[in-house]
Structure 1
Amino acid sequence: MKTTASLKATKLNLFNLKSVPTRTFWITSISFFMCFFAWFGIVPFMPDVVKDLGLTPTQKWNSIILAVTGTVFARLLIGKLCDKYGPRLCYTWLLILGSIPVIASGLVQTPLQFLVCRLFIGFIGASFVITQVHTSLMFASNIVGTANATSAGWGNLGGGANRLGMPLIAALVVSLGVSDGDAWRYSMVIAGGICFLMGLVYYFFTQDTPEGNFKDLRASGEEVTTKKDQVGFLTVIKDYRTWILFIIYAACFGIELTVYGTMDDYLQNTFQLERVTAGNIVLSFALMNIFARTLGGYFGDKFGKLRGLRGRVLFLAAILSLEGIMLVTFSTTTSIVLGIGLLILFSLTVQMAEGATFSVVPFINKKAIGSVSGIVGAGGNVGAFLAAMLLKSKSAVAEKAAIAANEGLGEAFVKSAQSAAASSAVASGYFIIGFVVVITGVLALAIRFSTSDEEVAEMDLQKPTNDLITA
């Protein structure tokens, strides 16, 4: 089997759309954005959904958990499929099939139907893995961390942009004569339709690697990412570094999801902020993905240039530890000014840690990038699930105790006591989570690379490249 010379890009030239790597970067980033936009698109409408479908508090919580759970399994599977069939076909089918439950969620009539849709909508969260695989295949080792982090960060914006975008879509359909009560349904149908169209764009305007598609390369005898997919996947499972990165991603992306998902209520309960004010603060932190995650990949690449693959690990360990310290410190503050300052630093470090993680991932197993990315990506959702369960359990116990202790003292007094109890419980949960993140930062130092791994990474830079290749 012959091996083609690499045409991976050694720089991220965002305006050179004639370049296959650059064009792929933009299409995969936009596709990722739309997937996250649709995945979390229902969030701004939850009060309407609860009223329309008659959801109980338990069903509402279950809808959140189901959306995260579906993503875990999808990410584990999609990475392996990327190694076998290539990211182009995987993303095409994910977007097309994933649009179905998004559209269906706007047509549901019962709580059960809604919960089923939320489970399957979670599958489009696997788009993150395909994005990371595709950019890893398109960019050389000197820039792959920056490319991965930027595409992921800009894609993640979809999870925050829906807070503004979905209400705007709803306002548009209302202006066309749709009732306010049905606006959320039409908005979800539109979001699903856009995902479907992006699937067609992905199929016709991208390719798996700078050299061509997996199918064509294999037909001509070229070596692609893996010789035998199953062997590569088994090797990934046995590699301890994969599971350390799984834990690391749980400690950064997983914690970001959980903290941002609970921060609105925490800011209201702790600092007596209005809901709109708290929501805008949380949204502004989500928008830091525009640059913060890119910084993590950028510095991962810079440390890699200075100290090789070990340098990437050292930076990851440092920024992850700082993330934990910021969260621990935030959990103990009672000053809104200091609290917002610490939240800014937490947002910066947690997103940089995410970028730094995927500046390391492409070097774990060059022949099974998809499998590694899938397992590590799934770690983020596992972390979010576990952290959410911790905060939910602590808060539920504290709130029930507060209600029981103040029963009969008046509704306003009971609500105040319940709010204070929830604030204290979540703060203690943040403290525990932050401490665990610091420990995970130390654990990152256990990731080691062999001399041959370092040589392979260096050789990637020595291969001929061409940033002007076109398809």
Structure 2
Amino acid sequence: MTSSRSVTRTEVDTGSATGWKKYDKYPIEVDRLQDDKATEILLCNFERPHMRAFHCSWFAFFVAFFVWFSITPLIPEIQKSLGLSNEEIWTSNIANVTGTIFMRVLLGPLCDKVGPRILFAVVLGVSAIPAACIGFVHTTTGLTIIRSFIGLAGGTFVMCQYWTSSMFTKEIVATANGLVAGWGNLGAGVTQLLVGTLLFPLFKEIFKGTDNPTENAWRTVCIFPAVLAVITGVFIYKLSDDTPKGNFNELKKNGSMGDPSAIQSFRKGFYNINTWILLIQYGCCFGVELTMNSAAAAYFHDTYRLTTDESAAIASIFGWMNLFARGLGGWISDILNMKWGMRGRLYAQLVLLILEGGLVLIFANSNSLIESINIMVFFSMFVQAAEGSTYGIVPYVDPDALGAVTGIVGAGGNLGAVAFGMAFRDQEIDERKAFFIMGCSILASAVTTIFITIDGHRCILFGKDSVETQTQKRNNLTNIRQ
């Protein structure tokens, strides 16, 4: 997909454009009217700045998820070792996602201030510390506290989405955002499989000659993702760029960028009603995914009497759908945008949320293991597709406060996880009823799509396309016909 205003790849000297630039040429087609953002996604290209940032973004977020949920497949063993109740386990699950809420709200405006690269590296390094220290936990309070600090890793989502939104044009930004976030979220599924069925058994074998090899294994296995997080943070800091034109500090030093106020950015995002509608909707898709990451292994373990290894392997399927589903949601949003503009993106959002909510209700009433697994596959696909369509809308809300909007909406995912987690934690609500509450909440959030109104764009019931938007839609339709 390319823009009609793009420049020729590689051979074109970009130095003639306004302001200082780090690179004289780009190995990819760009749109000079959109700050040299890329108009195409070349997955097999790893060159700076655009595609290097793309690959660093998804891989770093993947590692963050690996850290964030490294303990999840070990929960049944930890519960046995520490003698914890289901309520205490759910308290720690809630703490794990609650710790991310503040970080996402904070990191959003900071992205507008200092850029995504440095923040990504810092958060990976900081979250690696509590992950490596999980072996020192001996009480419910200790588990809850350390999981809340590990949850800081989830804040990297803001940098992930900000980074690709800064590198790719609006015409393809939903696809780019969907791919990097989806492949990053894949870390949750890989964690279930890698930690639960490979590393944990391997560490048990290593400690085979000790008094309690199982406990020694879960107390040490999380060192692996912690070390990987530190290495990844150093790599992206040294070998990537904040924007197509260079890093924030370089742009400011050479007078090509002002010094924005993080507080002003937050204020603009906070007072936009679209931000809050999208926050609710993201809570009803990504919040559902986070809840399933915490609940799926235990659900299959308890409901169908499976072993820890078996339940972890099945639960990993939910995360593995991120390999394509979130990117698919973003791609659908981009395609409908080319045909119908913002209304197309909103139609995609509405339909995907309705399908997601309906499948949750069906999952809640499944009665066999095979049936549950099959429904979970499609349920997961629409959960993640809705996440992709949500972040196809986010870059349009307020481009001058992109970081703040990205952070606040992203925090909605964790707020949703806390709300749904409270339902699963309540001993008076069985798991099927908790899933029923979840499904009804998603369907209700879908209705709010009709109230989203983006300046300069015609939405489902309100608004009118600006002259610029109408021109861009005509160009898009011309590209489609060609």
- Which TM class, normalised by the smaller chain length? 0.7 to 0.9
Is the CA contact 2:76–2:308 (under 8 Å) kept in the aligned structure 1? no
Is the CA contact 1:310–1:449 (under 8 Å) kept in the aligned structure 2? no
Is the CA contact 2:109–2:262 (under 8 Å) kept in the aligned structure 1? yes
Instruction: State the distance in 2 between where 1:461 and 1:195 align.
Output: 45
Structure 2 residue 93 is matched with structure 1 residue 64: yes
Is the CA contact 2:87–2:425 (under 8 Å) kept in the aligned structure 1? no
Match of 2:112 among 80, 83, 93: 83
Instruction: State the distance in 2 between where 1:48 and 1:430 align.
Output: 25
1:446-461 paired onto structure 2 within 5 Å: 446-451=451-456, 455=468
Partner of 1:468: none
Aligned residue pairs: how many?
432
Match of 1:169 among 199, 202, 215: 199
Is the CA contact 1:141–1:460 (under 8 Å) kept in the aligned structure 2? no
Partner of 2:363: 330
Deviation string for 1:169-196 (max 9, x for gaps)? Answer: 3444555567423222322122211111
Instruction: State the distance in 1 between where 2:170 and 2:474 align.
Output: 7
Structure 2 residue 440 is matched with structure 1 residue 435: yes
Is the CA contact 1:316–1:444 (under 8 Å) kept in the aligned structure 2? yes
Structure 2 residue 229 is matched with structure 1 residue 182: no
Partner of 1:403: none
Instruction: State the distance in 2 between where 1:211 and 1:169 align.
Output: 41
Is the CA contact 2:76–2:298 (under 8 Å) kept in the aligned structure 1? no
Q: Offset of 1:62 from its aligned partner? A: 2.3
Structure 2 residue 152 is matched with structure 1 residue 118: no
Partner of 2:409: 376
Which protein is richer in helix relative to its size? Answer: 1
Paired letter, 1:397: E
Partner of 1:408: none
Secondary structure, aligned partner of 2:445: helix
Is the CA contact 2:60–2:184 (under 8 Å) kept in the aligned structure 1? yes
Whose RCO is larger (CA < 8 A, sep 6+)? Answer: 1
Partner of 2:231: 197
Q: Offset of 1:287 from its aligned partner? A: 0.7
Structure 2 residue 336 is matched with structure 1 residue 303: yes
Q: Offset of 1:333 from its aligned partner? A: 4.2
Instruction: State the distance in 2 between where 1:52 and 1:334 align.
Output: 31
Match of 1:141 among 162, 170, 178: 170
Instruction: State the distance in 2 between where 1:173 and 1:336 align.
Output: 29
Partner of 2:63: 34
Is the CA contact 2:304–2:369 (under 8 Å) kept in the aligned structure 1? yes
* Structure 1 residues 83 and 154: alpha-carbon distance in aligned structure 2, compared to 1, 3 A threshold: same
Instruction: State the distance in 2 between where 1:429 and 1:95 align.
Output: 33
Is the CA contact 1:319–1:349 (under 8 Å) kept in the aligned structure 2? yes
Partner of 1:412: none
Deviation string for 1:446-468 (max 9, x for gaps)? Answer: 11122278637977999xxxxxx
TM-score (norm 1): 0.84
Q: Offset of 1:132 from its aligned partner? A: 0.6
Partner of 1:407: none
Q: Offset of 1:90 from its aligned partner? A: 0.7
Is the CA contact 1:310–1:448 (under 8 Å) kept in the aligned structure 2? no
Match of 1:313 among 342, 346, 355: 346
Partner of 2:428: 397
Deviation string for 1:372-395 (max 9, x for gaps)? Answer: 1111111011111111212332xx
* Structure 1 residues 25 and 460: alpha-carbon distance in aligned structure 2, compared to 1, 3 A threshold: farther
Instruction: State the distance in 2 between where 1:109 and 1:327 align.
Output: 36
Is the CA contact 1:103–1:188 (under 8 Å) kept in the aligned structure 2? yes
Secondary structure, aligned partner of 1:221: coil
Paired letter, 1:22: M
Paired letter, 1:382: L
Instruction: State the distance in 1 between where 2:85 and 2:303 align.
Output: 26
* Structure 1 residues 345 and 201: alpha-carbon distance in aligned structure 2, compared to 1, 3 A threshold: same
Partner of 1:98: 127
Paired letter, 1:324: G
Deviation string for 1:211-254 (max 9, x for gaps)? Answer: 01111112222236x84332222111110000000000001111
* Structure 1 residues 262 and 50: alpha-carbon distance in aligned structure 2, compared to 1, 3 A threshold: closer
Is the CA contact 1:229–1:368 (under 8 Å) kept in the aligned structure 2? no
Instruction: State the distance in 2 between where 1:124 and 1:238 align.
Output: 27
Match of 2:316 among 268, 278, 283: 283
Structure 2 unaligned blocks of 5 or more: 1-17, 21-31, 458-464, 476-482
Paired letter, 1:125: G
Partner of 2:12: none
Partner of 1:212: 246
Instruction: State the distance in 1 between where 2:246 and 2:431 align.
Output: 50
Deviation string for 1:331-362 (max 9, x for gaps)? Answer: 33446555444332211111100111111111
* Structure 1 residues 199 and 271: alpha-carbon distance in aligned structure 2, compared to 1, 3 A threshold: closer
Deviation string for 1:114-156 (max 9, x for gaps)? Answer: 3322111111110111101111111111221111111111111
Q: Offset of 1:262 from its aligned partner? A: 3.2
Instruction: State the distance in 1 between where 2:162 and 2:378 align.
Output: 29
Q: CA RMSD for the aligned pairs? A: 2.7
* Structure 1 residues 274 and 66: alpha-carbon distance in aligned structure 2, compared to 1, 3 A threshold: closer
Is the CA contact 1:270–1:334 (under 8 Å) kept in the aligned structure 2? no
Q: Offset of 1:55 from its aligned partner? A: 4.3
Instruction: State the distance in 2 between where 1:153 and 1:360 align.
Output: 16
Q: Offset of 1:427 from its aligned partner? A: 2.1
Paired letter, 2:361: V
Secondary structure, aligned partner of 1:448: coil
Instruction: State the distance in 2 between where 1:207 and 1:102 align.
Output: 28
Paired letter, 1:311: G
Partner of 1:238: 271
Instruction: State the distance in 1 between where 2:141 and 2:439 align.
Output: 36
Secondary structure, aligned partner of 1:397: coil
Instruction: State the distance in 1 between where 2:150 and 2:471 align.
Output: 40
Larger mean Cα displacement after TM superposition, 333-342 or 13-22: 333-342
